[in-house]
Homo-oligomer: A and B are copies of this chain.
Amino acid sequence: MFIEFQFAEDTIVAARVFPGMGVENLSTKLQTEFNQHIRQIANNSTLLIEGDECRAVYFVVGGWLSLSKALAEGQNQIIDFALPGDFVDPAGGDGMTSSVTIDALTDGTLAVLPYRRWTTMPGEWPELHSLTHLMEAAKNARRAERMLRLGKGTAEMRVAYALVEFCIRIASVCGSEIAEFHIPLTQQQLGDFVGLSSVHVCRTMRRMVRNGVIEMSDHMDIRVLDSRSLARLAGVDIESLKRGIVPLRL
């Protein structure tokens, strides 16, 4: 199931952190620092496998990552997605072993910040304190929201919530409201995210299309036709959810 690690040296090119790629919250000097550690990654490559030793925090400049875990029988659960502007610290409680598998869902650009460097950075750039604190808080809120639905929600609620979350997070990255967006996922992956089989994801989304809540084209191009209904299905109030699951702009 795992795709071969493709983090070849020759993929390291001169991409650079710049505004509009989820780094609006970073000062120019901090961006300069991040630029020292830029790496390009290829769609479908695996950056890190659960249980591996990890020695760096990833900052996503562009592209989507998935953080997932698998059972012995091969069943996969996507724990979270990392979008541009997100930090990913894969370590578990021992500070050195990854608790998740990290895959690239698209081509992308990362700043790979070694722990040794990462731990000294907040001293030099105090802004990192409040930034990472808010990002952590948003991440926790997001995952809690999803755990609630994994444990207690119906298929419809889980899928609707996932769509609302994508909508809000993507809007947060691009800085404006959206009703139309693409998610770089197969229905299988979406199912791994919301705890459903791909078949049931399909049925559920078809029903939403039939009911005029959303429209789908191509490969997971979503257009929200009736955001009121979608929010109701998801069991959320959009405005308060926004405050919870994306970090406040400083």
With A93-B244, A235-B72 in contact, is A143–B133 under 8 Å at CB? no
> Which residues of A come within 8 Å of B, CB atoms?
51, 67, 69-72, 75-77, 79, 89, 91-95, 97, 99-100, 119, 122, 129-130, 133-138, 140-141, 143-148, 150-153, 157, 192, 194-195, 235, 240, 243-248
Contact of A152 among B71, B99, B248 (CB under 8 A): B71
Whether the pair B150, A151 counts as a contact (CB closer than 8 A) is yes
Q: How far is the CB of A140 from chain B (nearest CB, A)?
A: 7
Q: Closest B-chain residue to A158, C-beta based?
A: B151
Q: What 5 additional pairs, Cβ within 8 angstroms, besides A72-B235, A99-B145? A: A93-B134, A93-B243, A95-B134, A143-B143, A147-B147
Whether the pair A144, B244 counts as a contact (CB closer than 8 A) is no
Q: How far is the CB of A113 from chain B (nearest CB, A)?
A: 14
Q: How far is the CB of A167 from chain B (nearest CB, A)?
A: 15
Q: Which residues of B are found within 8 Å of A100, using beta-carbon distances? A: 144
Residue from the set A76, A94, A243, A246 with the largest chain B CB neighbour count within 10 Å: A94
Contact of A77 among B92, B99, B147 (CB under 8 A): B147
Q: Closest B-chain residue to A241, C-beta based?
A: B92
